[in-house]
Amino acid sequence: DADVTQTPRNRITKTGKRIMLECSQTKGHDRMYWYRQDPGLGLRLIYYSFDVKDINKGEISDGYSVSRQAQAKFSLSLESAIPNQTALYFCATSLGTDNSPLHFGNGTRLTVT
């Protein structure tokens, strides 16, 4: 079983719909992140959380919100999806030290039509 699990793996939705992407982890890490990947742009940070009561905006948080329901769960919501939010979304976790690498889930491919 994957240590960082993202659901769903693929999702097609329509403009204006609300959608939630879920992430759960069994690694016991405190830090969790949401990134999006677009071709030619690399990965960009949407939101991150260093513990259950801590939520921080990344570089592209507009149009997104997050919820850290528990240490192991971090969900990303698109309140009203738009086509330019079509991307590959990654959840990641890390230990609470700055030299710790990120451990990624397998990604959620989201298409907004």
Partner 1 sequence: AQKITQTQPGMFVQEKEAVTLDCTYDTSDPSYGLFWYKQPSSGEMIFLIYQGSYDQQNATEGRYSLNFQKARKSANLVISASQLGDSAMYFCAMREGAGANSKLTFGKGITLSVRP
Q: Which lies closer to partner 1 via its Cβ, residue 58 or residue 63? A: 58
For the CB of residue 18, give the shortest distance to partner 1 in the complex, in Å. 25
Backbone angles phi, psi at 85, to 5 degrees: -95, 5
Classify residue 79 by its DSSP letter. Answer: S
> Tokens 């830090």 label which residue?
31
91 vs 24: CA distance, rounded Å:
9
For the CB of residue 87, give the shortest distance to partner 1 in the complex, in Å. 12
113 vs 1: CA distance, rounded Å:
32
Residues that bind partner 1 (CB under 8 A): 33, 35, 40-45, 50, 54, 56, 58, 88, 90, 92, 98-99, 101-104, 106-107
Q: Which lies closer to partner 1 via its Cβ, residue 62 or residue 101? A: 101
For the CB of residue 72, give the shortest distance to partner 1 in the complex, in Å. 20
